[in-house]
Amino acid sequence: MQDRCTFEYAIIRIVPKVEREEFFNVGVILFSKRKKFLGIKYHINPEKLKAFACEMELETFNEYLHAWKLVCEGAPSGGKIGTLELSDRFRWLTACRSTIIQSSKIHPGITIDPEKELEDIFQKCVL
């Protein structure tokens, strides 16, 4: 029997006009303590962005999400947050915020392969 473990994930959303509370999914962040895994996968559909907020630049959002990726990886360019433990980085990235990039509530699951789970959730909820 393969080694099953728990994981937690949240959907990353773009909320162009926070006051309207309209959003669309652009990514997934997944954390598994036992597998020592923290990963993020994202893609912003330019057509959706244009439909929701034509005045906003795609590149700006990609830069912000790339910064999230650096934090996940623990890269030196991820700043002080990037130096924290995996669980602390996950909690920081998924904390409730009222900005134009937000995450959903955290959802639990069980998996054998967190990286494959990240891809599966990404395919289902973002693409």
Q: Which domain holds residue 58?
A: 5-125
- Give pLDDT tens digits for 31-73: 999 999 999 999 999 999 988 887 888 999 999 999 999 999 9
Beta-bridge mates of residue 41: 28
Q: How many domains in the chain?
A: 1
Is this structure's pTM higher than 0.85? yes
Using only the alpha carbons of the chain, give its radius of gyration.
Answer: 15
Banded model confidence at residue 1, pLDDT cuts 50, 70, 90: low
Handedness of CA 92, 97, 100, 104 (dihedral sign): positive
